[in-house]
Amino acid sequence: MDRSRRRPVCAQHEEDDAMREMEIHDYARQLLEAHGPKAIAEAAQNAIDLEKKGELELARTWRHIEDAMKLMRGPHQS
């Protein structure tokens, strides 16, 4: 492969992060549409369950999904 056509490693990493962020937000939107506000609590519970099992990376992903849904929901009204 021609070295001049390769992307720098940091650019590839940034692109991967952007793609992952888009996938998380898309999944969060789908969960909110399908389950409504209770989807946020379900995501939080998934994270708790995974943390207890030691699946920390998956738990972080569910926390990220939970945060994305909270942003989509907007300010909490009491």
Give tens-digit pLDDT for 30-69.
Answer: 999 999 989 999 999 999 999 999 999 999 999 999 999 9
Whether the predicted pLDDT of 73 surpasses 90: no
Cα angle 47, 13, 29 (rounded to 5 degrees) comes to 40
Contact between 37 and 69 under an 8 Å Cβ cutoff? The reply is: no
CA distances in angstroms from 62 to 8, 25, 69, listed in the order given: 30, 11, 11
Q: What letter does residue 5 receive in the DSSP assignment? A: G
Q: What is this structure's pTM?
A: 0.75
Which residues, at least 6 apart from 61, have a Cβ–Cβ distance to it below 8 Å?
24
